[in-house]
Amino acid sequence: MSDENLNPLRKKLENLVTEYQQKNDFTGWFEDIYTDALGNPEQVPWAKMQPHPCLENWVKIANITKKKALVIGCGLGDDSEILAQYKANVTAFDIAPSSIEWCQKRFNNSSVNYLVADLLNLDNSWKNSFEIIFESRTIQALPITIRKEVIEAIATSLKPGGTLLIVTRLRDTEDTIDGPPWPVSEAELSQFSEYGYQEINRIPYIDTNNPSVKQALIEYQRN
99 binds ligand SAM, rule: CB under 6 A: yes
95 binds ligand SAM, rule: CB under 6 A: yes
Tell me the per-residue interface mask from 141 to 180 with ligand SAM, x by CB under 6 A, - otherwise. xx--------------------------------------
CB 103 within 8 A of CB 80: yes
Q: Which residues, listed in sequence order, are joined to residue 218 by a DSSP beta bridge? A: 166, 202
Among residues 94, 131, 188, 219, the one that binds ligand SAM under rule CB under 6 A: 94
12 binds ligand SAM, rule: CB under 6 A: no
94: which residues sit within 8 A by CB, 6+ positions away?
30, 73, 74, 75, 100, 103, 116, 117
**Dist CA 123 CA 91 (whole Å):** 13
Number of H helices, E strands in the chain: 7, 7
55 binds ligand SAM, rule: CB under 6 A: no
183 binds ligand SAM, rule: CB under 6 A: no
Among residues 13, 83, 119, 217, the one that binds ligand SAM under rule CB under 6 A: 119
CB 73 within 8 A of CB 133: no
| Amino acid (1-letter code) at residue 77 | G
Residues that bind ligand SAM (CB under 6 A): 27, 30, 46, 73-75, 93-96, 99, 118-120, 136-138, 141-142
